[in-house]
Amino acid sequence: MARIETPRRIRGTQDIFGDEQRRFAHVLSTFERVRALYCFQRIDIPVFESTAVFARSLGETTDVVSKEMYTFEDRGGDSLTLRPEFTAGIARAYLTEGWQQFAPLKITTSGPVFRYERPQKGRFRQFHQIDAEVIGAAEPAADVELLVLADQLLRELGIAEGVTLQLNTLGDAETREAWRAALVAHFEAHRGALSEDSLTRLEKNPMRILDSKDPRDRPIADSAPDIDAYLTPEARAFFDAVTAGLDAAGVAWERNARLVRGLDYYRHTAFEFVTDRLGAQGTVLAGGRYDGLIGSLGGPETAGVGWAAGVERLAMLLDEPAAATIDAVVVPMGADAEARAMGIVADLRRAGVAVEMAYKGKMKARMAKADALGARFAIILGDDELAKGVAAVKTLGAGTQAEVAFADLAEALR
């Protein structure tokens, strides 16, 4: 007989269950709580957009657009792309939904994003991000607020220890032009020693050579001119205001003059929260200011700043969160008790008590289930109890037992 081939999970995707799921959910619920403290609104946007949304805002030369996007033609012949990140889609929504009226708009979102990358620890093809943005605020206070939010999130997750905030400025347009010219001159002078990838970058996006991981590029990147000599007074003042704000809020940071972000749209602030606990996948949260982005989508020049963090990478850093505990397990013995237990369980759940019913196996297996679930109480229902209209409530830690009338159960368990 022909064997049926079981379908496989697609490479780079995940089925998230058990301990992994608890960690994952803990990251999301903590983010949800902290974003409310900072008065950010939650939004949701589509998982796919017109390809142009990402191609135009991220820039054709970036790794994400040139190598990593899941792009396909739909049945109507339109080119669509599964979102590789949130910012571009949010900028599109800001324009198409008339959200300009709410500026400055402080928003967060979270969900799956898709990138065709080589899967490895901490690197997936469908992964999840949490994301925070402030659109329509050109003030450094917005950058500071986002960074302090990120810092508090990491603290509340208990993973701030060993994670460093690396901060840089990419200056304003004038600064960037002047610095770019100086970088190109420097890299041209060392052309012969650069990796092939960096020779391509030199044509298209020379700043990216600065964060190359290729050992051939490192000495040349490390000896490249810093942006500092090219900062306009305005760009310098902006960066000083950001660092002063962080100092005032008690958020530690480190200057990393080699930090450039992969996407073309960044201006002024660029940052990464980095750990050495995840090997090569050490960036847990990253972002910056993207004042050029909304203009590149055809909208009015609009300031914006934001960050995204990988939920999986944050979840990997967590101590194992405690398994969810439940209040009680109902253990019926015999067919009558089982029938009666249905109603009791329903009543308890409606009263806000978390209850499981053990209906498989003998008494011993059912009691074992109550222990395994970490329930505080076992509610034992036998024929004697049914006849009296009571349940035997056993406090599992203490081993004590008491009879409780059905009507008083919810109260007794709370």
Between 121 and 414, whose beta carbon lies closer to ligand ATP?
A: 121
Nearer to ligand ATP, 198 or 378 (CB): 198
Under rule CB under 6 A, residue 313 binds ligand ATP: yes
Chain centroid, CA 265 distance in Å: 21
Task: State yes or no: residue 169 binds ligand ATP (CB under 6 A).
Answer: no
Reduced to 3 states (helix: H, G, I; strand: E, B; else coil), residue 168 is: strand
**DSSP secondary-structure letter at 337?**
H
Q: Does 264 bind ligand ATP (CB under 6 A)?
A: no
Provide Rg for the chain, Cα atoms.
Answer: 28
Among 20, 48, 80, 123, binds ligand ATP (CB under 6 A): 123
Could you say whether residue 309 binds ligand ATP (CB under 6 A)? yes
Tokens standing for 219?
């000495």
In this chain, which of 111, 262, 295, 374 binds ligand ATP, going by CB under 6 A?
A: 262
> Which DSSP string corresponds to 343-390?
HHHHHHHHTT--EEE--SS-HHHHHHHHHHTT-SEEEEE-HHHHHHTE
Residues 6+ apart with CB under 8 A from 153: 30, 31, 34, 309
Number of residue whose CB is nearest ligand ATP: 310
For the chain, what is the largest distance between any 2 Cα atoms, rounded to a whole number of angstroms? 94
How far lies 166's CA from each of 71, 75, 147, 151, 356, in Å? Answer: 33, 45, 11, 12, 47
Binding residues for ligand ATP, how many (CB under 6 A)?
A: 19
Q: Nearest distance from residue 378's CB to ligand ATP, in Å? A: 42
Q: Which residues of 357-380 are buried (b: 16+ CB within 10 A; e: fewer)?
A: bbeeeeeeebbebbeebebbbbbb
DSSP annotation of 297 reads: T
**Interface residues for ligand ATP in 265-304 (CB under 6 A)?**
281, 283-286
Residue range at the interface with ligand ATP (CB under 6 A); choices 309-317, 357-365, 391-399, 402-410: 309-317
Q: Which stretch binds ligand ATP (CB under 6 A): 2-10, 158-166, 308-316, 324-332?
A: 308-316
**Has 23 been labeled as part of a binding site?**
no
Which region, judged by CB under 6 A, interacts with ligand ATP, from 222-230, 305-313, 332-340, 368-376?
A: 305-313
The distance of closest approach from Cβ of residue 86 to ligand ATP in the complex, given in angstroms and rounded to an integer, is 9
Output the CA–CA distances (angstroms, integers) from residue 243 to 115, 164, 179, 199, 239, in the order listed. 33, 15, 21, 34, 6
86 is in an annotated binding site: yes
Q: Which is nearer to ligand ATP, 282 or 382 (CB)?
A: 282
Burial tier of 289 (Cβ tally within 10 Å: 0-12, 13-18, 19+): buried
> Could you tell me if 40 and 106 are in contact, meaning their C-beta atoms sit under 8 angstroms apart?
yes
Q: Does 310 bind ligand ATP (CB under 6 A)?
A: yes
- Give, as ranges, the residues between 24 and 63 that touch ligand ATP (CB under 6 A): none
312 lies in the binding site for ligand ATP (CB under 6 A):
yes
What binding mask, one character per residue, do residues 125-164 give for ligand ATP by CB under 6 A, x or -?
A: --x-x-----------------------------------
Three-state DSSP string of 243-293? HHHHHHHCCCCEECCCCCCCCCCCEEEEEEEEECCCCCCCEEEEEEECCCH
Closer Cβ to ligand ATP, 206 or 310, answer by number: 310
Shortest Å, Cβ 23 to ligand ATP? 14
- The one-character DSSP state at 230 is G
| Closest distance of CB 264 from ligand ATP, Å | 13
Contact mark string toward ligand ATP, 98..117, x via CB under 6 A: -----------------x-x
Residues that bind ligand ATP (CB under 6 A): 85, 115, 117, 122-124, 127, 129, 262, 281, 283-286, 308-310, 312-313
